[in-house]
Amino acid sequence: MARVAVIGAGFVGLSAAYWLMRDGHQVHLFEPHGAAGGASFGNAGTFANYACIPVNNPSVFRDLPRYLFSAQSPLRVRWPHLPMLAPWLVRFLWASTPDRYTATATALSQLLAHAQSGYDALLAEADLQHFVRPQECLYLYSSAAAFEGARDTLQLRRHLGIASDILDADAIASLEPQLSPIFHRGALFKGSWHLSDPAAFLHALLAYLQRKGLALHPLAVTRVQADAQEVRLLGPEHDSVYDHLALCAGVHSKTLAAQCGDDVPLQAERGYHLMFPGSTSLISRPVGWAERGFYMTPMAQGLRVAGTVELAGLGPDMHPGLLELLNFASHRALPALGAPQAPWLGFRPTLPDGLPVLGRSRDSARVVYAFGHQHIGLTLGGLSGRLVADLVGDRPSALPLNALRAQRF
């Protein structure tokens, strides 16, 4: 079998390593920060098999002034970054027209319909089922107007085969009595689940893979040279050759993909979370508030409130207004919450059309891409890893990947 390098140790990279090793390949994992060192650490922890509605949808044209100017908006753009962001934002708006939005939602739904198959064997073989909590996600609307505004997306989900139960205020209160009685309607999504600790899950998966023979290299890759025969990885402390490469480095994939012939418009979408220790029992499942753009998820360490979107590059400075918004809105939804701790900032790898990149590089069929999963890297991680193994093994894919190729840009 082949020697395969994987760059990245988030949900996608570690899943790719699992499926490649299952095929018998010798896998070398490159990640200087260890498992869950990036966006995979601080996400909402949800297996969101319903998340086929991309951020780029026709409503952005209506809501753009609110996004740009309202202090209550869950989406922010830092004005000094606007010149750098302008080309990406133009592509984003172009992808938000009704026909393109529907095409994106359809492509995502096809991936999501198979997402569970990417995890079934992995969970069983690595003995990770104890991290999975099967309570279905509840998505809430706090006004009749908000629910009416969401009818088209709920109808599109149903048309694409994504099932949900619509709950009234009494049903919401019965299901989650600690919630504030401000919510008009809710959608309970069938087959969704969440993890008790996403980072611990990935650390346990990495440990399992190492026991099975995975070679972990805590090194940064700064240069990729690929041709028809081999792939060479270079960094400050190494120079090594492999038969294949799986590039799963999230937002950091852009530079390496460019070295493989693909100029991919990958942007860092900055997301935040707060932890509320001791509040795990307030709700039994992930609860999202549609208008506020965040989730509350009970986890082993406490209640995690995660969400919002900021476009401002890869700088480490947090936006105090977005942290305050998360704190205020979460207390509005769950009045019994205490004081938040451990604010966190992560960088979601986001493409302007709302789809990930899955496929081969332009310059060499020996380089396979799997990055740009935006808000659903956890959800599609297992399936993406399986598709990477199919591409490396030169097997026909069970799913259409043409719309996901890097060359679509």
Q: Is 39 exposed, middle or buried (0-12, 13-18, 19+ CB in 10 A)?
A: buried
Q: What is the pLDDT of residue 198?
A: 98
Q: d(Cα 24, Cα 8) in Å, to the nearest integer?
A: 20
Residues in Cβ contact with 219 at an 8 Å cutoff, skipping those fewer than 6 apart: 30, 32, 235, 236, 237, 238
User: What are the pLDDT digits (tens) for 180-197?
Assistant: 999 999 999 999 999 999
**Range list of β-strands (E), 190-293:** 193-195, 215-217, 223-226, 231-235, 238-242, 244-247, 267-276, 287-289
Residues in Cβ contact with 221 at an 8 Å cutoff, skipping those fewer than 6 apart: 7, 30, 233, 234, 235, 256
User: What are the pLDDT digits (tens) for 23-77?
Assistant: 999 999 999 999 998 999 999 999 999 999 998 888 877 776 766 666 677 777 8
Average pLDDT of the chain, as a whole number: 95
Q: Minimum mean pLDDT among 3-17, 66-80, 345-359, 382-396: which range?
A: 66-80
Mean pLDDT computed over 154-170 = 96
Q: What is the pLDDT of residue 17?
A: 98
> By C-alpha distance, which of 137, 117, 154, 235 is closest to 191?
137
Please provide the CATH number assigned to the domain covering 3-408. 3.50.50.60
Q: What is the pLDDT of residue 61?
A: 73
How many C-beta atoms surround the C-beta of residue 366 within 10 A? Answer: 21
User: What are the pLDDT digits (tens) for 222-268?
Assistant: 999 999 999 999 999 899 999 999 999 999 999 999 999 999 999 99
Domains of the chain, by residue range, sit at 3-408
Longest dimension (CA), the chain: 63
User: What are the pLDDT digits (tens) for 288-301?
Assistant: 999 999 999 999 99
